[in-house]
Amino acid sequence: MLATINNFEIDLSKPIDISIPLTNTDENPIAWYIEKPVIEPVVFGNWIGKVSEGKSSTNFNNIFFNPHGHGTHTECLGHITNDFYSINQSLKQFFFFAELITVEPEKQGEDFVITKDQIQNLITQKIESLIIRTIPNSKDKKSRKYSNTNPPYLSEEVAIFIRESEIQHLLIDLPSVDKEHDEGKLLAHKAFWNVKDTVNLNPDARLNATITEMIYVSDEIEDGNYILNLQIASFENDASPSKPILYKI
């Protein structure tokens, strides 16, 4: 099934899913010092919301999870502001012209950092969305336990460059664009969203820009330009689990 999005023709029957599914197993990735998600049937006395238990005609589960720590998620600037901003209100369009690039973070002391010099040499044209795949790119990213591992992150300088390049949507296969233990500075988040004061928000803060973290882009997917369909659930929250889909142009 062919469609034309932003003047580009794509085949909707060939989606490329770069999200990580959320499960209640040990295969679920975890960040930020929490436990795995809980997915379990509702119980009312002797009634169990699970067909295989023979007590219900439907499966009826409760789900307990954290969007930031349990898999692919998309967040708005409400993630770092004093006042409430919702991803459901911030993200109003869902198809974007995107570029996928692959970067090997540079070792700086005890850290691995993605720098401006690396990024600016890889972006080939003006885009709405930037997707960053880091290497090495083993499949264990789909189940990795990130807590207290000091994962790679973006430098403040490269986050400023991405913002000044007018890229509205940033996607990355790391648990955060910032250093795990950074004393709450959140330099890359603030630079990307142009947030100078998290309490008294500056008028030029980027209310409609988003960051999507903990994606997984397999090695079979080539660097280059795609149409991105950025899907979220309608949570009135700073972040939502999300399902970014790429289409070849």
DSSP string, 129-154: EEEEEESS--GGGGT-B-TTS---EE
Record the tokens describing residue 24, joined without a space: 């209640």
Which residues touch 71 (CB under 8 Å, ≥6 apart)? 19, 20, 21, 22, 28, 29, 65, 214, 241
CATH number, domain 2-22+67-248, options 3.50.30.50, 3.40.640.10, 3.40.50.300, 3.40.50.2300 = 3.50.30.50
State residue 147 phi and psi, 5-degree precision: -60, 130
Q: Are 23 and 37 in contact (CB under 8 A)?
A: yes
- Domain boundaries defined on the chain: 2-22+67-248
Q: What tens-digit pLDDT sequence spans the chain (249 residues)?
A: 777 877 889 999 999 999 999 999 999 999 999 999 999 999 999 999 999 998 899 999 999 999 999 999 999 999 999 999 999 999 999 999 999 999 999 999 999 999 999 999 899 899 999 999 999 999 999 999 999 999 999 999 999 999 999 999 999 999 999 999 999 999 999 999 999 999 999 999 999 999 999 999 999 999 999 999 999 999 999 999 999 999 999
| Stated pTM of the model | 0.96
* Cα–Cα distance measured from residue 245 to residue 229, given in angstroms and rounded to the nearest whole number: 5
